[in-house]
Amino acid sequence: MSMKFKQAERLQKLPPYLFVRLEQLAAQKKAEGVKMIDFGIGDPDLPCPGEIVRAMKKAADVNENQKYSSSKGEKDLREAIAEYYKKRFNVKVNPDTEVCVTIGSKEGIYNIAQAFVNDGEKIIAPNPGYPVYSGAATLFNNAVCDKITLKKENKWLLDVKECPTDAKLMYINYPNNPTGATADLDYVKDVYKWAKRNKTILAYDNAYCEMTYDGYRAPSVLQAGKDAIEFMSFSKTFCMTGFRLGFAVGNEELVSGLTKCKGQIDSGAPIFIQKAAITALQMYTDDGYLKESVQKNMDEFGERRKVLVEGLNELGYECDMPKGTFYVWFDCGKTSMEFTQEMIDKGVIVTPGTGFGGACEGYIRMAVTKPVDQIQEALRRMGKRND
């Protein structure tokens, strides 16, 4: 008989990862021969631009690029990140002290709490929000999470007047996962001033900053000031989710603490992938706009978003047109899991809003990671709202 091993209490406190449960439910239907249309996990289906893939293949053949990197990342990539900030946001960044390359932004989002939050200190997390904020970042650091409810009537913007003034760290994310909400620079500046006034570390998750539509351009928190840390990712903009690469930029002490923490945990992202990322960051015009080979993917997501939102509204669901991310967020008129199960029975995989926090019961997130013809087929399967 095999031995039984008990998980650490911190791990037992984590709720089951939502997408694992969805995969199990979907697998049952697939076994019955149903062809599922999956709008669940936010993994771009469009290919990474060929220039980036070719750069990675070429770099992988170089012996030096097959060695360990450093937890801070390669200097030439950090310099390319600094150049990106200058082009895109007109913000000057020191690549030696204010930039750290991460193994995807998720790792950095977790490790910033590891680096700065002590036992019993407070972390502010939006509700709904990316599960890492209130999950591992809080529980694995014995912190206390204050979940701040985002409200539709406030356009899903976090209201700092509802936040505790004694928190050690605040996570905020616009363009927002899961709601698709966006924020302008004035809002970001107000949050930045609040955090600085209350000595709260502002961790700004900006993974979707280039996935924007209808003339909207997302700001950087560093346009408000340097006393914050911003997390960026190559995953969504360049369809590089499997490459696992991101970066953190901001206050020198925050970047230093993050780098020190990473030094005990990882040995840096693969160098040949970092070299490919330099090519990605060169795919901007001098005035900070994406070049056509990348922009065409963003335009495709924008068109899919339009088809899905218009289709949902025709079916009777009240659904706003998001200006950011590739998520569509709507009130399904019943419990999130009840609706999710109904959709799975119809061969459509969606994500229940409750997976992003208890404040969003009755909401559903759909990621437009399928082509237009499959979105139209999914809408046909979903049928009219009948509550």
DSSP 215-233: T-----GGGT-SSSEEEEE
Alpha-carbon dihedral 240, 42, 323, 184, rounded to 10 degrees: -70
Mean pLDDT, rounded, for 293-304: 96
- Please say if the pLDDT value at position 17 is more than 90: no
What pLDDT, in 10s, does the model give residues 306-364?
999 999 999 999 999 999 999 999 999 999 999 998 999 899 999 999 989 888 899 99
- Please say if the pLDDT value at position 121 is more than 90: yes
Mean pLDDT, rounded, for 295-306: 97
- Please say if the pLDDT value at position 252 is more than 70: yes
As a whole number, the mean pLDDT across the chain is 94
- Please say if the pLDDT value at position 270 is more than 90: yes
Tell the residue number behind the tokens 């909207």, with chain if given.
216
- The pLDDT of residue 387: 54
Q: Where in the chain is the domain with CATH 3.90.1150.10?
A: 13-42+291-380
Mean pLDDT, rounded, for 242-251: 97
What pLDDT, in 10s, does the model give residues 126-147?
999 999 999 999 999 999 999 9
- The pLDDT of residue 313: 96
Spell out the alpha helix ranges (H) of 269-371. 271-281, 292-314, 336-345
Going by their DSSP bridges, the two strands 169-173 and 144-149 should be labelled as unpaired
- The pLDDT of residue 32: 81
- The pLDDT of residue 18: 65
- Please say if the pLDDT value at position 19 is more than 80: no
| DSSP letter (8 states) at residue 150 | P
Helix (H), strand (E) at residue 328 = strand 327-331
Fold of 48-280: Aspartate Aminotransferase; domain 2 (3.40.640)
**Per CATH, is 13-42+291-380 categorized as 1.20.1440.230?**
no
- The pLDDT of residue 89: 97
Mean pLDDT, rounded, for 89-98: 98
Half-sphere exposure of 156 (CA within 13 A, CB side): 24
Q: Where in the chain is the domain with CATH 3.40.640.10?
A: 48-280
